[in-house]
Structure 1
Amino acid sequence: MELIMLSPDSKEPLYIQLYKHFKGEIENSRLSEGEKLPSIRGLAKSLAVSKITVEKAYQQLMSEGYIENCDRSRYRVNNYEGIAFKAAWPADTQAAASTVEIEEGTVFYDFASGEMDIDGFNFSLWKRYVSKVFANKERLVGYGNIQGEEELRSEIAKYVHNSRGGKVSKEQIIIGPGVQSLLNTLCSILKADTSSIAFEEPGFKNGRHIFADHGFQIIPIKMKTDGIDMEELVASKTRLVYVSPSHQFPTGYIMPIGKRNRLLRWAEEVEATIIEDDYDSEFRYFGRPIPALKGLDYGENVVYLGSFSKVMPPSMRISYMVLPDRLLPVYHKNSSLYNQAASTIEQLALAKFMGDGHLERQIRRLRKLYYEKSLLFFDALKRVFGRLVEVNETESGLHTLITVHSELTAQELVDRAMAKGCRVASVQDYYWENTPEKQPRMILYFSKIPAGNMLQAVQLLKEAWFPAGELGAGNSGTRITSAGRRERKR
C-alpha cells in the first residue's frame, strides 16, 4: 500500500483526504478485493490523527460500497467492479435482509437503550478485583451490611464530594441494586410526611409508577428549557418533588445554577424534600459540570440518587442513595424491614476499584469514547435524514431527541423501526398525562451502537420511516437546533 500523506494545511478535512487516498488505492487496484485495511486504532496512531478521523473516512468508503465491515475494528475491500452507492445495512445481515423479511423481534440496533458500549469496560481488570475479594472468605458467608458495605460507602462519600460537590458521610449512604429498589425504600421513609409528589413532565416513568404504587398522588409539572416549571410547582402545594437537573430525561435539558438555587429556596420555605436523580451527570462534554443540588444544599432538603449503571456494566446492579440527616432516624427505625440485595462481592470489588483510582480513569475513558461517538451520531443524522427530522443536540448525555416530520403516529414510527430491526422509544411514553406533542418525537441513544456501524444504523432507520416513494410529505421547515451548545471542533 502506498504511503499515506495527509496535509493539515489543506482546506480539505483530514478524513476527506484519507477517504480519497483509499478510494484511489481501490480504484487503481493497488488494494484488491478482500484485503484488510489497517485497524482504526493502529492507523490513527501511525498517522498521529484522532480515531474519529479514521472512522469518518472508513464510514464514507463503506457508504459508497468501497469497503465492508468484517468485524468491529477491521474493514476489507469490496469488489470494485460495478461498485455503486448502496444502502448501508449491518454487514452480517446485508445479503439476507435484501432478499427476505427480517424475523419479527430481531434487533440489529438498539436506539432505545443507554447501555454501555461493548468495548467500554476492561473486564479483565475487573476480574482481578473480584478475585481479590475471595481472599477474605469471612466477609462472604453472611448477608452483608443492610445499609451497604462500609468500604464502598466510604468511597462513594469521597466520590460524591470530589465529583459533585456534595459533603456527605458514609452514614448517610444506602446501597441498593438499582435506583428503583432504592425508591421503594424511600417511599416507606417519606409516606408518613406527605401523600403527593411532583414529577417532571415528561419524566422518569418507572419512578412515577413506584410512587403511585405506594399510594402517592402524582402531580406532573411541565418541563421548560431551564428545568421544571417553578410556578406550577409552587402552585401544586406539594412538599415533595423528583428532579434530574444535571441531564433531564428524556429532554436532555440542564438546570442552570440560578434555577437550582431557586428550587432549594422553595424547599427551605415550605419545608419540602427534593429527590435529585443525578442521571448521566458524568457525561458532560464541554465545560465544568454544574454542582449537584446536593452540593448546594445547606438545609438538609435533598435526597441524592446516584448510579454506576452508565459508567460500569449495568449488570453489576449497584446504585446508592444519600439521605439528609433528618431522615436517617426514620430509616434506622424501619431498617429491619429492608434487605440488602446488592452483591457483597461486587460491593467490595467496587470499593477497591474506586480506591485505586480506576473509576475516575473509567469515566475519563468513557467520556472520550462517547464524545467521539456523539460526533459520528449527529453527523450521521444530518447526512442521512437531512431536512426530514429536527435534531435537538445537547452538550451532555448519551441520547438525543428528534422530531420526525411525518404524518405517521409515534407508535407507527416505533413499529416501523422495529420491523427493520431498530428499537426506538417515543417521548410520548414518558408523559403521565395526555401528551401535548404535535409531531412525533423519538428518543435515540447512541451509546450501544458500534461506532463502525453508526451510519448504517441511522440509514436503516431512515428506510423504516421514509421508504423510497413515500418521501415528500414532511420535507420542509426542519432544522438542527442546539440547547445551549457551543460550536464543536471537529
Structure 2
Amino acid sequence: MTSKARCSAPIKQRFPLEAIHLDPALKPPLYRQLEEQLRQIIWQGTLKTNDPLPSSRNLASTLNIARNTVISAYEQLTVEGFIQARPGAPHRVAEGFPAPTLNKAKTSTKAAVEFIPKLSQRTNTLRQASAFIGAQQSNPPPQPFRAHIPDYKEFPVKTWAQLYNRRLKHSSRFWQQAVHPCGYWPLRQAVADYLVMARGMRVAPEQIVITAGVQQSFELLAKTLIDPADKVIFENPAYTPAAMVFELAGAKTAYVDIDNEGLKVATLPASGAKLLYTTPASQFPLGITQSQSRRKALLAWATKSSTLILEDDYNGEYRYRGRPLTTLYSMAAPGQVIYLGSFSKLLFPALRLGYMVVPAALIEPVANARWLLDRHSPPLEQAVLADFINDGHFLKHLRRMRVLYAQRQAVLITTLENELAELVHVTPLDGGLHLTAELRSTVKPEQFFTAAKNASVALSSVAQFSPQTTPQADRQIIFGYAPYTEKAMKLAAQALMRSYLKT
C-alpha cells in the first residue's frame, strides 16, 4: 500500500478518480477517508444522479487498497442514500442530487466558505463569561492567589473511593437508572437533616432540590420565576455570573450599594422587585457580614414589597469565630427566602453538586424545568455524597477545613504584611476563602496587575464583579488563600514584589 494513493489511469466509467486522495498516515481509517471523499464528490455535484461508480474490485485495484475498504465505504454510502446498489449492475448515484453547475470546474478547487451562524443578542451577555473560563487544552493547578477554590488536595479521597466502591459492589443497579429531577431521595433527606441539625433551619426533604451546582440553581430559578423585564436586584459589587443568567432570561438587573454592615436596605426601591439576590453571611466579593439590624430591615422590606429573596450561602460553613451564622432563611417567614448551598465550594470543584431549599409552590415547577434541562444529576455521585454525609465524614471534613483555612488566612495576612506592605493593606475577616486588600494610594492598578501577570501571580480586582468600573473597585484586590501552602503564598508574594519593582 502506498502512503498516498492517486490514480490517473482511465477507466470506462465516468468517475473523477483524480479527486480521490487517501493517506494511511492520517487518523481516519482509509475506508472513512474514501467514504467522505465520495460523499463530497456526490454532494458537490461532480457526480450526478445515475452516474456509475467503479466496481469495488476495480476501484480497490486502482487505488492500491483492500477491496473490503471499498465495500465498507460503498455500504455506508448506500445506507445514507448517496448511492444505490442494484443486482448485476454497478453502484450508481442515487436520485435527488442536483446536476453540477456550468462553472463547477472553475469553482470546485476553491476552498469552501465556512457558514457563520447569526448569533442572538444574548451572546453579548454570554461574552462576559469568557473572563472565568480557562484554556481548552490544559488544566493546570491553581496558582496563588486565585480565589474561590477550596483545597481539594485535603479532601479525603480514600474515604470517597471506599464509599464509591461500596456502592458499586453492594448496591442494586439503581445508579444506572434515572432518578427524580429534584434529586436522589436519600441525598435530599441527608441534606435536610444536616441543615436542621447544623444550621438550625426548618427544612423538609421535599423542599431540597439537588442541582449541578449553584450556577444551575440560578438557571432553574430564572426559568421558573423570571419573565422579560422583571426586575432582579443585586448587591454592588456582586457575583456577576448570577446576574448573567438572569439577564439572559430577560430580567432587568439593578444594583444596590453596600457598606460595612452589608446591603444598604434604606436605598432599596419601595416598589420592590421580582427577586433580590444576596450573600449575607459573607458578601461576595468583599466578605462583609450583613448585620442583624440590616437583615431584619431587609426581611421587612421584602414583606412590604412582595419581593422574593435568594440567599446564596456559598461558604457560610467556613466561619472562624464561633459557629456558622444563622441563615436569613431561618429568620424569614415561610416561602420568603430561597436558600442556596454548594458542595463544590465545600468539598472539591469537580463535584458539580449543589442544592436549593425552595418553597412548596416551587417544587413542581423547578422539577419540570430540571427535567427539560438535563433530567437530573448523576445518581451514583448523589448516592456517594449521601453516604459521605450520613456516615459523618462531611461534618468531620468541615471541622478540619475550618481550622486549616483559619490558619491560612492568618498566613496570608502575615505574608502580605511582610512582603507586600508597600503595595497593599489587608484586613482580616471572620470567614470565607479569600480576603480583599486595598492598594496603597501610591500604587497604580495598571502597574500592579502588569507586575502580577509578569510574575505568573493570579489576581483579580473587585471591578470584575461590579456593574460599572469605579476607581475604588479597581483598587480592591482579591487574594485567595484556601488551597495554598505558606511556602506557595510567600514565593508568589516575593515574585510579585520583584516584578513590580521592575515595571
**Corresponding residue for residue 154 of structure 2:** 120
**Corresponding residue for residue 478 of structure 2:** 443
Among all aligned residue pairs of Structure 1 and Structure 2, give the percentage whose two residues are the same amino acid.
28
TM alignment of 1:78-477, pairs within 5 A: 109-134=143-168, 135-192=170-227, 195-235=230-270, 237-332=272-367, 334=369, 336-405=371-440, 409-437=444-472, 440-465=475-500, 467=501
> Is the Cα contact below 8 Å between 2:316 and 2:325 reproduced in 1?
no
Task: Out of 202-211 and 156-165, give the one that drifted further.
Answer: 156-165
Provide structure 2 residue ranges, at least 5 long, that are not aligned to the other structure. 1-138
| Structure 1 pair 252–300 and aligned structure 2 pair: CA distance change class (3 A) | same
- Structure 2 Cα separation of the partners of residues 401 and 262 of structure 1: 26
Provide structure 1 residue ranges, at least 5 long, that are not aligned to the other structure. 1-104, 471-490
SS at match of 1:403: strand
| Structure 1 pair 193–260 and aligned structure 2 pair: CA distance change class (3 A) | farther
| Structure 1 pair 439–425 and aligned structure 2 pair: CA distance change class (3 A) | closer
Count the aligned residue pairs.
364
- Structure 2 Cα separation of the partners of residues 459 and 441 of structure 1: 20
How far is the alpha carbon of 1:266 from its aligned partner?
1.4
Task: Out of 433-442 and 362-371, give the one that drifted further.
Answer: 433-442
- Structure 2 Cα separation of the partners of residues 439 and 207 of structure 1: 21
| Structure 1 pair 393–128 and aligned structure 2 pair: CA distance change class (3 A) | same
Structure 2 letter corresponding to 1:130: Y
TM-score normalized with structure 2 length: 0.68
- Structure 2 Cα separation of the partners of residues 292 and 375 of structure 1: 26
- Structure 1 Cα separation of the partners of residues 421 and 145 of structure 2: 19
CA deviation digits over 1:349-390, x for unaligned, max 9?
A: 010110011100000010011111111111111111224322
- Structure 1 Cα separation of the partners of residues 408 and 155 of structure 2: 16
Q: Which has the higher contact order (CA 8 A, sep 6+)?
A: 1
SS at match of 1:369: helix
> Is the Cα contact below 8 Å between 1:196 and 1:217 reproduced in 2?
yes
How far is the alpha carbon of 1:109 from its aligned partner?
2.7
CA deviation digits over 1:317-376, x for unaligned, max 9?
A: 110011112323433565542434422111100101100111000000100111111111
Task: Out of 233-242 and 288-297, give the one that drifted further.
Answer: 233-242
- Structure 1 Cα separation of the partners of residues 483 and 370 of structure 2: 38
- Structure 1 Cα separation of the partners of residues 145 and 475 of structure 2: 16
> Is the Cα contact below 8 Å between 1:107 and 1:418 reproduced in 2?
no
- Structure 1 Cα separation of the partners of residues 371 and 437 of structure 2: 47
SS at match of 1:422: coil
**Corresponding residue for residue 74 of structure 2:** none
CA deviation digits over 1:233-269, x for unaligned, max 9?
A: 2346324100000001111000122221221121111
How far is the alpha carbon of 1:167 from its aligned partner?
0.8
> Is the Cα contact below 8 Å between 1:410 and 1:428 reproduced in 2?
no
Structure 2 letter corresponding to 1:142: Q
| Structure 1 pair 335–285 and aligned structure 2 pair: CA distance change class (3 A) | closer
How far is the alpha carbon of 1:283 from its aligned partner?
1.1
TM-score normalized with structure 1 length: 0.70
How far is the alpha carbon of 1:463 from its aligned partner?
2.2
SS at match of 1:321: strand
How far is the alpha carbon of 1:461 from its aligned partner?
2.2
> Is the Cα contact below 8 Å between 1:200 and 1:223 reproduced in 2?
yes
Structure 2 letter corresponding to 1:317: R
Structure 1 letter corresponding to 2:353: I
> Is the Cα contact below 8 Å between 1:414 and 1:423 reproduced in 2?
no
**Corresponding residue for residue 44 of structure 1:** none
SS at match of 1:316: coil
How far is the alpha carbon of 1:433 from its aligned partner?
2.3
| Structure 1 pair 185–408 and aligned structure 2 pair: CA distance change class (3 A) | same
**Corresponding residue for residue 86 of structure 1:** none
> Is the Cα contact below 8 Å between 1:165 and 1:291 reproduced in 2?
yes
- Structure 1 Cα separation of the partners of residues 164 and 141 of structure 2: 32
**Corresponding residue for residue 92 of structure 1:** none
SS at match of 1:175: strand
Return the index of the structure with the highest Cα Rg.
Answer: 2
**Corresponding residue for residue 48 of structure 1:** none
- Structure 1 Cα separation of the partners of residues 177 and 398 of structure 2: 32
| Structure 1 pair 108–458 and aligned structure 2 pair: CA distance change class (3 A) | farther
